[in-house]
Structures are given as structure tokens and as C-alpha cells.
């Protein structure tokens, strides 16, 4: 018989791993579109910042208060050349995107990008 504590710890581990993935998939970000875009960067080499239509910023699927955004970005930025990719809803006020860009620049990020979806051919 398997001890109950082992089963509990395995379940806890599964939930700790799956929760951020589930939260990220539930974020509703409607990206703006473009006719031409550059190659996609792999998610492992970038820092992804999502901004929903209410202006809330998310890092790793978790909401981040505006005053904590800079410190959380500083923790994630391992190299100044590591790209910071902003995925902002197309209906978000542009000031929220500028606030994320300012926070990234203040911590020394040299590469900023804005994520868009490519328009389909009509």
C-alpha cells in the first residue's frame, strides 16, 4: 500500500506545475494584426508580458501590480540582450503598453518587441 503522504505530495506537485499553464491559457488577449511579421522567437529565450484589455499586466500567467512590475522583470531578466515581448490586447489603452516598456528599459532590457498576429490572406 502506498503511504497517503506520497500520494498527497505527488498531487501537490502536479497542481503546482499545471496551475500556471492553465491560467495562461485562460487569459483572453486579442492581439492586433499585421500583414507582415518577423520570425517567431522561442518562448524559452524571451520574457513574455501580457496586458489584457483592462490594463492588467501578467508575468508567467500571474497578475502583477504596476508598482511590482519592474522588480519582477528584474528577477526574470538574466541578460540585457534577452528580448522582452509584450502581448497587449488591441483594445488596451496605449499608456499601459508604454508603462511596461518603461519598466523594461529602466531595468536595462535592450530588446523590446510587441507581439502581433499575422493577418490571413483574403
Write out the chain's pLDDT in tens, 122 residues: 668 888 888 888 888 887 776 665 566 666 666 666 555 555 557 889 999 989 999 997 889 999 999 999 999 898 888 999 999 888 889 899 999 999 999 999 999 988 877 766 44
Statement: the pTM of the whole predicted model exceeds 0.75: no
Q: Which structural domain, as residue segments, surrounds residue 90? A: 28-118
Q: With respect to residue 108, please indicate whether it lies within any of the assigned structural domains.
A: yes
CATH value at residue 98 = 3.30.420.270
Query: CA torsion, points 61, 65, 67, 71, in degrees to nearest 10?
Result: -30
Query: Is residue 10 situated within a structural domain?
Result: no
Quote the number of domains for the chain. 1
pLDDT at 101: 92
| Residue 42 pLDDT | 52
**Residue 110 domain-assigned?**
yes
Question: Using CA atoms, how far apart are residues 39 and 118, in angstroms rounded to an integer?
Answer: 11
- Does residue 66 lie in a domain region? yes
Task: Give CA separation, 39 vs 7, 42, 48, 81, in Å.
Answer: 44, 10, 16, 17
Amino acid at each position: 500500500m502506498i503511504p497517503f503522504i506520497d500520494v498527497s505530495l505527488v498531487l501537490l506537485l502536479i497542481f503546482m506545475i499545471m496551475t500556471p499553464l492553465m491560467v495562461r491559457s485562460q487569459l483572453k488577449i486579442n492581439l492586433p494584426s499585421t500583414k507582415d511579421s518577423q520570425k517567431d522567437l522561442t518562448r524559452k529565450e524571451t520574457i513574455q508580458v501580457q496586458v489584457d484589455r483592462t490594463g492588467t499586466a501578467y508575468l508567467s500567467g500571474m497578475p502583477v501590480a504596476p508598482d511590482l512590475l519592474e522588480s519582477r522583470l528584474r528577477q526574470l531578466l538574466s541578460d540585457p540582450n534577452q528580448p522582452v515581448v509584450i502581448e497587449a490586447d488591441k483594445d488596451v489603452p496605449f499608456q499601459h503598453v508604454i508603462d511596461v516598456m518603461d519598466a523594461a528599459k529602466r531595468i536595462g532590457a535592450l530588446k523590446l518587441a510587441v507581439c502581433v498576429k499575422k493577418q490571413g490572406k483574403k
